[in-house]
Chains A and B, each alone.
Chain A
Amino acid sequence: MTIRHKPSEETLLAYAAGTLRAPEAAVVATHLAFSRSGRDWVRTLQRVGGQLLDELPTSAMSPDALQRVMARIDADGGEAVMPAPLNDMLELPEPLRRYPLGPWRWLGRGTRVRSVGVPRDGDCRVILFKIDPGRKMPQHSHAGVELTCVVSGSYSDEAGRFGPGDFEEADEETNHRPIVDSDVPCICVVALDGQIRLQGVLGRLLQPLARL
């Protein structure tokens, strides 16, 4: 499997540094699950982060800080909390399987969506799309940045063809209507700021249902 579309250098750096919002970070983590070279590079960048941490000057902690931490460790045993249970979608890569998923919702012909329980950041949240072959993605506003990673199937838009692991960054300027061109449904995970805007009269009637 060849990844053709990767996150920008800035996005990978922000991911490694932890400056991305949680929903965006979840989509980048999905991409990285498909990309060995991407993971290696992020690890290298995190070594840079470790070095920068070493180089920081110190800020004095309160005198009883260590005592307080030890008291908390004594109080709760200090044992690692079990990882969250896996959700029901076997086809998802590991980073996404740890999040609870909302119910599937119908969003027009051949289009289903469910929310992914990544903590929201303001309006930004993660949505999973499952779109049948030949269908277009629902038209939606780009109130901010939108990050997409394909999990299975593929879609095409003016930027090219996007298959499993491929990553697309869209912003306010982008006006795209991707169409699913695989013969299986396309599952993709999207970090989205704006609301999805359904088209046409029927779309407007359904709009209240589409709020995610």
Chain B
Amino acid sequence: MNGRIQSSSPDADGALMLAQPSGRPDFGRLIEAVAQHRDRQAFAELFAYFAPRLKSYLIRTGAAAGTAEDFAQEAMMTVWRKAALFDRERAGASTWVFTIARNLRIDAARRDGKALRELDLSELPNDPAQPDQILSGIDDEARIRAALEALSADQARVVRLSFFHDKAHAEIAQELGLPLGTVKSRLRLAMIKLRDLLSER
């Protein structure tokens, strides 16, 4: 158990990681400390955990190590700057950091190489969380982990690659040595299953 995601993808080598032990720091509280008190110690703890993962994240997308290092620093700058927008009822700390990285990536991936646009976290309207969505972070994470575990190894691999690759399908097909159609149908089945397991209603 322990939230292990099965995969034999050559890409996923190190992704065969155990889930965090339940004793990990409350990252949500640390982000709030940065927001409220500009707490540098809290930020250093966040940095120690997230920056090396953000760097891996960008390396997975095909970036060079130096670019990934800059990206991770930029994303952590944004964590500091936008900490006040963090709302633990709406997203767990890891999800929030992921969306920061995601926004930064959309901007950074532009091929014209111009300076980054300031991130726009207001891209999605702020819905008031509904009572049944206010799960404790732990429950929510457990649910997501369980859903990922319920996918077949092949499906989980395609979902993971979809999160990490640009121009997803053609590249994924190439990487896995599978026809494009197979990748697409596998992803579609995985999404149906995830919807089934994770939709609110």
Report A's interface with B, CB cutoff 8 A: 9-10, 13-14, 16-22, 25, 29, 32-33, 36, 39-62, 65-66, 68-70, 72-73, 78-81, 83-84, 93-95, 98, 119-122
Contact = CB atoms under 8 A, between A and B. Distances in A.
A58 B53 contact: yes
A25 B123 CA distance: 10
Nearest to B68: A59
Contacts of B154: none
Contacts of A83: 118, 120, 122
Interface string B29-54: 00000000010100110011011111
Given A18-B103, A52-B163, A10 B127 contact: no
Given A39-B127, A119-B110, A59 B162 contact: no
A59 B59 contact: yes
B60 interface: yes
Nearest to B53: A56
Contacts of A61: 51-52, 55, 69, 72-73
B23 to A, nearest CB: 14
B134 interface: no
Chain B interface main SS type: helix
Nearest to A51: B144
A69 B110 CA distance: 23
Main secondary structure of the interface of A (DSSP, over half): helix
Contacts, number: 220
Interface in B78-97: 80-82, 84-85, 90-97
A135 B51 CA distance: 52
Interface in B138-186: 140-141, 144-145, 147-148, 159-160, 162-169, 184
Contact of A19 (B117, B124, B168): B168
11 contacts: A17-B162, A18-B105, A21-B106, A40-B127, A44-B198, A47-B144, A59-B53, A65-B73, A66-B47, A78-B38, A95-B123
Contacts of A60: 52
A122 B111 CA distance: 6
A9 B95 contact: no
Contacts of B99: 46, 49
A21 to B, nearest CB: 7
Given A18-B105, A47-B140, A59 B52 contact: yes
A28 B21 CA distance: 36
Contact of A53 (B44, B59, B94, B187): B94
A10 B15 contact: no
Contacts of B65: 59
Given A13-B187, A48-B163, A80-B82, 15 more contacts: A13-B159, A16-B102, A18-B106, A19-B165, A46-B99, A48-B144, A50-B92, A54-B53, A54-B94, A57-B13, A59-B53, A59-B65, A65-B51, A73-B77, A78-B38
Contacts of B164: 17, 52
Given A13-B187, A39-B125, A22 B81 contact: no
Contacts of A52: 15, 98, 160, 163-164
A10 B198 CA distance: 16
Contact of B19 (A54, A70, A78): A54
Given A39-B124, A53-B94, A65-B72, A48 B51 contact: no
Nearest to B93: A50
Given A39-B127, A50-B94, A62-B69, A121 B145 contact: no
A54 B52 CA distance: 11
Nearest to B133: A40
Given A9-B191, A59-B68, A47 B145 contact: no
B174 to A, nearest CB: 15
Given A10-B188, A46-B102, A55-B19, A17 B163 contact: yes
A50 B166 contact: no
